[in-house]
Chain A
């Protein structure tokens, strides 16, 4: 990036001053918001809060609410992280953003929906057979998404290898658009509800340490998490660990890293580059497949446009963590999920913004801009070959 190679003492242009101004504005906006949030937690009618929220002051956030937001953010973030892995790996190896990766995720969620309704019709979506049915659903969805990702690479991206870097990006926008609309036409435009999950997964919670009871008599806990969110976090962590092992400890993983580093030299070393790239897409697709089912468990419904926003958020997560860096992608996902859940109430609300949760997606995009303005290589540093870093 040109900005990184700044000569010491070089003259700052108008654009530099403007960017500096933007950085300072954004950071102080967030900083003041956070301080004001703390202040309004302590005293809801402090002058700042009454200025923005009127005489009755700001609303406060109690511990169970806060903890609930954190858990929601973590579970969604873990899902974003899983999707982000696909972006990150493909970017690391091929140096372009696979815009259609979000669609792979959506197709997996759709597969999950179809499986769940069919299992439900057969009566396998409850009781003792639920767990094998669920595992089967995850396996089938993963296979489908892997398949879609591999086909995508074969049909749309392989012929474009070596063309200017915007060309595959535009193609992937086309693929994304095509898949999304194909799903709308094949399965209808409405939202598709999953079959009802058993209560132990969907409704029950793990509670730790009762700290009191609310006004309506519901017990409050220091730490409380719904089983489904816990499951999402656990499954994401296991998949991440498996992927880490695959990339860092196996021979194929080593080949992937070598191809990411330098395709030409890798092929000189006897690595089949084409096959390694297919593997990369397949592994990314499999991760997106697992994420798709996790989406189904969390939100219980899927629509053809499901893939779009989570896809972009996951890409943001990959950038936040540093593109090409697998651990970074997961950390980026979790921090992005947390920011998305917490920032509306902790930053926007103290500024007197009404309906802050409507701006959740805007928070994510702002975060992306902020990270790219301040640390374009991401929080944990990117791992790209030298030609892609240009």
Chain B
């Protein structure tokens, strides 16, 4: 059968399937999913817990005093109402095969969306009805109590009021299917719009929500830039950022803008919503008209250029990004700098894990052990508060409570050596195990090391549960001392090390060693047959990863100033793994994006992110993200080309076959696609 014939047949089949677009079966299934999602989000407390964070106001409390709370949309509302929108849009999702035309959309799609939302809303309505039955109001004080409140902590009055729109469950019973249906239909209507309009609408919504969510960052940045313009002199005392002095408020041009769009108690004012929305939609429309696909083409050109030839543009890009990063902390306040420092520490960890997991394909779940070794070694060498059991010949780079100049760097050398040795020690026994056993055993090693640091037995050395305190910062003489009280300095230190790590990973990836790692990742037996010494290569991956993690640990202990076994839970390993996977395994850019998005926005295991309201829910979100990414996009947000080809080999083969690049569908086809450009 010729390729052309198959294409036609398949297209006819696709068109003949459901001409009206109404697919009740699928809609009801998605509706059930919607109901479950909304009920779950309500019961884990997100809806109530995030309700205090306002995103935008219809009626601004600052202006109209007779609405004390203001009226608008909160983060809790978004957590609840985004589901009908998303699933309404998702129900119309159909796989359009390569080289075929998608089905024409019609009113049936809207109906589909409405059914999804109505079924989902019915589910929520049913839950509010249950809550209503379970509700008992104490006649004396009017306090409502719930029987199911005992195991389910969020089955309470606040949730009931929110879900019933404060009008009782009978109202909710008919209102919810309606609200859900309309919202989901709106979501579904996205697919009916022309491309340009849809992009503009999505851009507006995303812009409004993110400008509001990142209010803190925007506020801080505008204030910093404005003040610097008003008083350029403040940049001169940059390196000796005195944390005590703080920033003096200087009136600047941006103050008016900030006051115009944001309400005092957080959230966008109505005029802000309109301004941001119109600006984003306009930019999207005008932008796509002006560039007419030139940006997409430039990007495609860039990625299509073979690696050796694109070093120039890559270097230019790198210089631009690093310049931007270098001047960023000039303008941001302490909290944002602290956040950036945390992102940097986790970025360094993620870059290390990226070499182990992303390049060599070794799933190391005890990666936190190297972080701990780095942290504890630095602490022992630079803290007067270290255990008494250490003999005198172990150096201590502290002089009368002041860090010794360059002491931290000497300590870093020792940290490096110790981390490499730990890498060998942990790596050697596990290197020959199969991948999944290796994961559990490294997890075991991570726990053993933490338990040893925690134990009474070695508390003379490591301080047991009390940890090691009074760690001095890193003294760099004229450049200043890096300590936690001055997050800007930590940020610069971490940036330097991240740059080193990025350079190392980048060079390694395209070296003989890196190619050996990737060969091992794809197929260990074949790699061995090709003459690669798999054992040594895998050990190298362990050692390089360990050294990078130990750098991060050294900076961490200089920053925090005290170190406890609880900082090194397995949780840390898993969060770094999520960062690497969400960003894109084996891709440096992906890892950077992953740490910015996850650690910067959601926060690290103990470190708060920009969305401090999420701190309670972030671990749940991390888990959900990990599952979602593995199911839907295992190659990550910013995929590595080779890795995604490995993960989607079937689809690549199919596409190539449909495009007619492969003549036959027998085994030879695989060989042909490997040669074809991706």
Contacts and interface: CB of A to CB of B under 8 A. Distances in A.
A57 B454 CA distance: 26
Contacts of B574: 173, 177
Interface in B616-667: 616-617, 619-620, 622-627, 630-631, 634, 646-647
Interface string B518-539: 0000000100100000111001
Interface in B294-345: none
Contacts of A165: 435-436
A41 interface: no
B623 A174 contact: yes
A178 B634 contact: no
Contact of B45 (A156, A185, A364): A185
B293 interface: no
A26 to B, nearest CB: 10
B451 A368 contact: no
B431 A159 contact: no
Contact of B451 (A175, A308, A359): A359
B152 interface: yes
B429 A22 contact: yes
A188 B153 contact: yes
B44 A1 contact: no
A261 B646 CA distance: 27
Nearest to B618: A181
Interface string A359-390: 10110111011001100100000000000001
Interface string B571-598: 0001001100100000000000000000
A97 interface: yes
A174 B630 contact: yes
Given A174-B626, A186-B44, A369-B441, A362 B620 contact: no
- A: contact size bracket: 35 or more
Contacts of A13: 535
B292 interface: no
A239 interface: no
A309 B616 CA distance: 23
Interface stretch (A133-141, A266-274, A350-358): A350-358
B79 to A, nearest CB: 12
Contacts of B447: 361-362, 365
B437 A372 contact: yes
Contact of A369 (B152, B429, B451, B525): B429
A279 interface: no
Contacts of B43: 186
Nearest to A360: B451
A19 interface: yes
Contacts of B630: 160, 167-168, 170-171, 174
A10 interface: no
A368 B626 contact: no
A319 interface: yes
Interface string A236-262: 000000000000000000000000000
Nearest to A95: B436
A72 to B, nearest CB: 20
B440 interface: yes
B448 A362 contact: yes
Contacts of B634: 163, 167
A390 to B, nearest CB: 7
How would you classify the secondary structure of chain B's contact residues: helix, strand, loop or mixed?
helix
A226 B505 CA distance: 58
A25 B150 CA distance: 52
B626 A170 contact: yes
A117 B150 CA distance: 9
A142 B138 CA distance: 37
Nearest to B150: A117
A366 B624 CA distance: 32
A218 interface: no
Contact of A366 (B152, B448, B534, B616): B448
Contact of A186 (B153, B365, B428): B153
B457 interface: yes
A178 B151 contact: no
A166 B435 contact: yes
Contact of A185 (B44, B452, B581, B647): B44
Contacts of A11: none
A171 B627 contact: yes
Contacts of A171: 626-627, 630-631
B444 interface: yes
Contact of A97 (B361, B429, B439, B455): B439
Interface in A178-237: 178-182, 184-188
Interface in B412-430: 428-429
Question: Which interface residue of B40, B365, B623 has the most chain A CB atoms within 10 A?
Answer: B623
Question: Which interface residue of A182, A359, A365 has the most chain B CB atoms within 10 A?
Answer: A365
Contacts of A18: 428
B433 interface: yes
Contacts of A96: 436
A2 B363 contact: no
A169 interface: yes
Contacts of B617: 185
A42 interface: no
Given A185-B45, A366-B448, A166 B361 contact: yes
B445 interface: yes
Contacts of B626: 170-171, 173-174, 177-178
Given A19-B429, A156-B627, A365 B619 contact: no
B457 A376 contact: no
A312 interface: yes
Given A163-B647, A187-B152, A365-B447, A358 B432 contact: no
Contacts of A97: 436, 439-440
A164 interface: yes
A39 interface: no
Contacts of A362: 447-448, 451-452
Contacts of A174: 578, 623-627, 630
B154 A1 contact: no
B434 interface: yes
A15 interface: yes
A354 B534 CA distance: 41
A2 to B, nearest CB: 6
Given A15-B428, A173-B574, A362-B448, A368 B436 contact: no
A295 interface: no
A370 to B, nearest CB: 10
B158 interface: no
B347 interface: no
Given A168-B630, A174-B627, A186-B152, 13 more contacts: A1-B434, A2-B534, A19-B428, A159-B631, A165-B435, A173-B365, A178-B623, A185-B616, A187-B151, A354-B456, A366-B444, A369-B441, A369-B444
Q: Which 6 A-B pairs have the closest CB atoms?
A: A174-B626, A178-B623, A365-B444, A177-B623, A355-B456, A185-B44
23 contacts: A1-B432, A15-B535, A15-B539, A19-B429, A97-B440, A164-B647, A165-B435, A169-B439, A178-B624, A178-B626, A178-B627, A179-B623, A182-B40, A182-B623, A185-B44, A186-B153, A315-B440, A358-B451, A358-B456, A361-B447, A365-B444, A369-B429, A369-B445
Interface of B: 40, 43-45, 150-154, 361, 363, 365, 428-429, 431-437, 439-441, 443-445, 447-448, 451-452, 454-457, 525, 528, 534-536, 539, 570, 574, 577-578, 581, 616-617, 619-620, 622-627, 630-631, 634, 646-647
